[in-house]
């Protein structure tokens, strides 16, 4: 490893300095650059030539170069006319050039809204009044509308909007809030046109696949996540497979390996083979778009291809260090990208840990690790032609061990002095285990900083899903290449690719359903510190066989007890449940018992995966009726999670619709699934199993209640449901506010033992409405740390004044209503079920 670290330390210094300096003024960066340059010069003058001196000089030089680069960039985006106009929120007409694909995101303020768009662009010129200025400044564009969906990088547009200041720490001069559709001034470049045609061709070819497969295949092959199913995306994240819905080094490795194989079959010499592989990687990076992981893998692949073509020695860690250093110097904003950090740490783990773990699992002699280590993330192991990219041939026994190492092992491969029998795996099996395990171990600190969890299922999930990645990628990429010219053949190719993607989806779904697949862990620096302590204790313990046996026995027994005894001691749902309020965050999602494995769903929350998870925990397979109280995102966006693998009888909606075109699209989607839609009418009654449901409001014949806030008209048109059981009743109020509550008070309003507090406990409540219902328990469905101040203190005080006991999903997770000998009771699941 002696030849690795001289390159690694400068790369780490550049990364850490960029991470710190990106949030500092340009003068700080300039000062650091000057001090580091002076330190490098002083070290070169003072000390004699040695490896330590050279490393120190290299670190200081890289630190100076990084600081100078950031200082120049920060100065460029914090000065000039664009910054001055953004500071005062000026309205401008601008000409911009897109630098990346516009990202289309669903608005979360209401269900029936236009698409929101985020796009990276270069501001070329702007006009304020009669003054026109030519600039060349990076900006971020926020817009609305489907007109942005088909735009490509390099297109020049004219837009109008308001400039505002960007978020601190980002190398952008301003944020442009666009009003109205863009006007296209120039078409995309021929390269981007071709790349767009390939991506569009793959999307169209994938239309022959089921919805979940047609969304994941383009994401896996070219990083196109525009159609990925939200439930599939959530399962991939829970299973530790989220790297598969974004292009990474593994995809690039498969393409490069295929290019090397073809060129070798064609009989090309070594240098042309390397050039062909480099061209294939460049073309793939253009089609897949230069994300942080793609940039990292591309540069490593180009370094490896250059080494292959020139016949020089290859070193995976040296290539990784050079890659990190170059990317930080020329794109310092990557230093704060979690995607870049995950890509680099995963590759480092594979390079440093996987060979040693593979050796331990096979029980064979270790291989030299300075120059002969393959680069699994750039070129996957397992075949001779792939390994040629990094100059390592796994079938060449002449490079397996040096004489001093061989002297320390027995004829059977066991190290001298080691006794007892050990599990020995074949090389392919050992590598299949070691590579994902090493990658997961390396990225765990980053995941702790990001999300505060430690995955226990990621390694087995990657082992199972890994066999399908290569065929899906190769078939999908070939389909993308031929789709613009021969779409029928592309459709034939994506069918077997769909089977491979279907296997990945099945593995992700299984892994997401495994109990305790992800352990909760403190997030941020506190969680990282705790992880360091745990590792520091675990490593010496696991090195001793006796301690290792005892530790594994205790941990295994504890996990078995939690998996076996917890469902017995605290089953969910509790026996005899009548209603469950799902913890969906800031939103509503309730399930009313309608028979064995049947439930009526009242609202579906904002997230399909969360709602689907709640229904799976309850064991619901049949939904005779879905009631969507009103068309706001926090109540209906999770509907696709309800529809997933379940039969739905009908959907009941409020008579109020905010946007007729989007409402028509919503109705058409249900019609395509052959699900009838009904409009709620007061007095309508159903009986499902033990539950009797009656619609109380709204009355379509009456004028719609208005309101004081944004969205109040839709809130006050919420469907209000009274539910009766033999042991009691519940009132489900949607998001009705004070105006609708006063309307209900004018008519016969039944009392209820359980009240679903309207609008997540907002302050717009009528105390007399609570008095008329006289609930014994009040359920509040609310998200933790929401930005609305829900539930309001005065609302909680009014409920407590009546003697009602308050239950909140942000405090107790899912809440279940059960029948007892004396009436109804509320049972809390006791942990947040995400």
Number of H helices, E strands in the chain: 29, 25
Exposed e or buried b per residue across 286-325, where buried means at least 16 C-beta atoms within 10 angstroms of its C-beta? bbbbbbbbbbbbbbbbbbbbebbbeeeebbbbbbbbbbbb
Least confident of 331-340, 583-592, 677-686: 331-340
Least confident of 338-342, 389-393, 679-683, 802-806: 389-393
Contact 442, 348 (CB under 8 A): yes
Across residues 475-504, what is the average pLDDT?
Answer: 92
Contact 652, 626 (CB under 8 A): yes
Cα–Cα–Cα angle for 357, 363, 365, rounded to 5 degrees = 85
The pLDDT, as a whole number, for residue 704 is: 56
pLDDT in tens, 665-676: 677 778 888 899
Least confident of 21-25, 62-66, 154-158, 422-426: 422-426
Reference 94, options 82, 76, 103, 79; nearest CA is 82
The pLDDT, as a whole number, for residue 741 is: 93
Helix, strand, coil percent content, the chain, rounded in steps of 5: 50, 15, 30
Reference 435, options 216, 217, 243, 234; nearest CA is 243
- What percentage of residues in the chain have a pLDDT greater than 70? 83
Please give the model's pTM, rounded to 2 decimal places.
Answer: 0.71
pLDDT in tens, 706-764: 656 557 888 999 999 999 999 999 999 999 999 999 999 988 899 999 999 999 999 99
262 or 571, greater pLDDT: 262
Q: Is the pLDDT score of 375 beyond 60?
A: no
- Rounded to whole angstroms, the Cα distance separating 67 from 63 reads 6
Place of tokens 């662009």: 121
Contact 191, 286 (CB under 8 A): yes
Q: Is the pLDDT score of 383 beyond 50?
A: no
Q: What are phi and psi of 343, to 5 degrees?
A: -65, -45
Could you tell me the pLDDT band of residue 546, with boundaries at 50, 70 and 90? confident
Q: How far, in Å, are 75, 126, 164, 646, 714 from residue 78 at the CA level?
A: 5, 17, 13, 54, 43
The pLDDT, as a whole number, for residue 259 is: 85
Q: Is the pLDDT score of 834 beyond 50?
A: no
The pLDDT, as a whole number, for residue 461 is: 87
Could you tell me the pLDDT band of residue 433, with boundaries at 50, 70 and 90? confident
Question: Residue 751 gets which letter from DSSP?
Answer: -
Residue partners of 538: CB distance under 8 A and separation at least 6: 551
Q: Is the pLDDT score of 287 beyond 60?
A: yes
Tokens of 767: 């105390």
pLDDT in tens, 789-814: 899 999 999 999 999 999 999 999 99
Q: What are phi and psi of 515, to 5 degrees?
A: -60, 140
Average pLDDT over the chain reads 81
Give the H/E segment covering residue 754: strand 754-756
Could you tell me the pLDDT band of residue 115, with boundaries at 50, 70 and 90? low
* Most confident by average pLDDT, 443-452, 453-462, 655-664, 797-806: 797-806
The pLDDT, as a whole number, for residue 561 is: 63
Q: Is the pLDDT score of 620 beyond 70?
A: yes
Q: Is the pLDDT score of 621 beyond 50?
A: yes
Longest CA pairwise span in the chain (Å) = 95
* Most confident by average pLDDT, 160-169, 450-459, 691-700: 691-700
Contact 578, 592 (CB under 8 A): yes
The pLDDT, as a whole number, for residue 706 is: 60
209 or 224, greater pLDDT: 209
Contact 467, 436 (CB under 8 A): no
pLDDT in tens, 54-113: 788 888 888 899 999 899 988 888 888 999 899 888 999 999 999 888 887 765 444 344
Place of tokens 């005779």: 624
């Amino acid at each position: 490893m002696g030849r690795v670290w001289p390159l690694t330390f400068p790369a780490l210094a550049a990364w850490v300095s960029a991470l710190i300096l990106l949030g500092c003024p340009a003068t700080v960066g300039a000062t650091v650059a000057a001090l580091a340059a002076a330190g490098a010069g002083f070290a070169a003058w003072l000390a004699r030539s040695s490896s330590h001196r050279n490393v120190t000089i290299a670190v200081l030089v890289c630190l100076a170069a990084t600081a100078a680069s950031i200082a120049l960039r920060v100065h460029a985006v914090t000065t000039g006319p664009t910054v001055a106009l953004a500071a005062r929120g000026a309205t401008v007409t601008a000409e911009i050039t897109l630098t990346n694909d516009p990202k289309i995101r669903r608005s979360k303020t209401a269900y029936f809204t236009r698409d929101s768009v985020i796009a990276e662009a270069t501001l070329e010129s702007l006009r304020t009044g009669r003054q026109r200025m030519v600039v060349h400044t990076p900006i971020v564009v926020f817009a609305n509308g489907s007109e942005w969906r088909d735009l490509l990088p390099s297109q020049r547009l004219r837009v109008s909007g308001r400039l505002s200041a960007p978020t601190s720490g980002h190398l952008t001069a301003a944020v442009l809030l666009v009003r109205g559709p863009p006007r296209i001034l120039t078409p995309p470049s021929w390269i981007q046109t071709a790349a767009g045609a390939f991506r569009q061709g793959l999307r169209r070819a994938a239309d022959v696949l089921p919805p979940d497969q047609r969304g994941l295949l383009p994401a896996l092959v070219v990083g196109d996540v525009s159609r990925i199913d939200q439930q599939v995306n959530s399962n991939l994240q829970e299973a530790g497979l989220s790297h598969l819905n974004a292009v990474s080094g593994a995809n690039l490795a498969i393409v490069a390996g295929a290019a090397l194989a073809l060129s070798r079959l064609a009989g090309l010499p070594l240098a042309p083979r390397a050039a062909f592989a480099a061209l294939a990687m460049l073309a793939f990076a253009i089609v897949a778009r230069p994300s942080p992981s793609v940039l990292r893998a591309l540069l490593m692949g180009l370094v490896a291809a250059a080494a292959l073509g020139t016949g020089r020695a290859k070193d995976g860690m040296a290539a990784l260090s050079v890659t990190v250093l170059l990317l930080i110097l020329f794109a310092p904003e990557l230093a704060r990208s979690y995607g870049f950090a995950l890509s680099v740490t995963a590759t480092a783990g594979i390079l440093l840990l996987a060979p040693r773990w593979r050796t331990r699992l096979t029980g064979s002699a270790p291989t030299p690790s300075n120059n002969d280590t393959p680069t699994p993330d750039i070129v996957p192991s397992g075949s001779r032609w792939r390994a040629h990219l990094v100059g390592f041939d796994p079938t060449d026994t002449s490079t397996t061990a040096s004489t001093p190492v061989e002297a320390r092992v027995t004829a059977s491969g066991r190290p001298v002095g080691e006794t007892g029998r050990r599990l020995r795996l074949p090389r392919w099996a050992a590598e299949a285990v070691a590579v994902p395990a090493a990658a997961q171990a390396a990225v765990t600190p980053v995941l702790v900083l990001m999300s505060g969890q430690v995955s226990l299922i990621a390694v087995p999930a990657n082992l199972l899903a890994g066999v399908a990645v290569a065929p899906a990628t190769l078939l999908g990429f070939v389909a993308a290449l031929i789709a613009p010219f021969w779409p029928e053949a592309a459709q034939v190719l994506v069918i077997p690719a769909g089977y491979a993607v279907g296997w990945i989806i099945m593995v992700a779904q299984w892994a997401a359903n495994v109990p305790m697949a992800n352990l909760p862990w403190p997030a941020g620096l506190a969680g990282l510190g705790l992880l360091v302590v745990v590792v520091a204790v675990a490593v010496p313990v696991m090195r001793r066989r006796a301690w290792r046996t005892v530790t594994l026995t205790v941990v295994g027994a504890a996990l078995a007890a939690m998996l076996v005894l917890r469902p017995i001691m605290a089953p969910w749902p509790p026996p005899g449940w009548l209603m469950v309020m799902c913890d969906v965050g800031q939103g509503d999602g309730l399930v009313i018992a309608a028979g064995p494995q049947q439930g009526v769903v009242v609202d579906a929350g904002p997230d399909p995966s969360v709602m689907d998870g709640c229904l799976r925990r309850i064991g619901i397979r049949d939904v005779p009726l879905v009631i969507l109280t009103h068309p706001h995102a926090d109540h209906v966006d999770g509907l696709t999670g309800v529809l997933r693998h379940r039969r739905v009888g009908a959907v009941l909606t409020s008579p109020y619709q905010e946007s007729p075109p989007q409402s028509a699209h919503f109705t058409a989607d249900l019609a395509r699934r052959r699900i009838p839609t009904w409009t709620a009418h007061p007095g309508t009654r159903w009986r499902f199993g033990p539950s009797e449901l009656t619609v109380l409001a709204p009355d379509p014949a009456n004028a719609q209640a208005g309101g004081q806030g944004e969205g109040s008209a839709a809130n006050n048109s919420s469907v209000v449901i009274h539910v009766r059981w033999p042991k009691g009743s519940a009132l489900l109020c949607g998001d009705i506010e004070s105006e609708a509550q006063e309307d209900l008070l004018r008519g016969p309003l039944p009392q209820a033992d359980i009240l679903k507090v309207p609008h997540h406990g907002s302050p717009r409540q009528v105390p007399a409405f609570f008095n008329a219902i006289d609930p014994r328990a009040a359920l509040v469905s609310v998200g933790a740390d929401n930005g609305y101040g829900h539930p309001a203190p005065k609302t909680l005080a009014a409920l407590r004044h009546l003697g009602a006991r308050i239950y909140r999903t942000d405090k107790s997770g899912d809440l279940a209503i059960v029948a007892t000998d004396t009436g109804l009771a509320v049972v809390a699941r006791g942990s947040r079920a995400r």
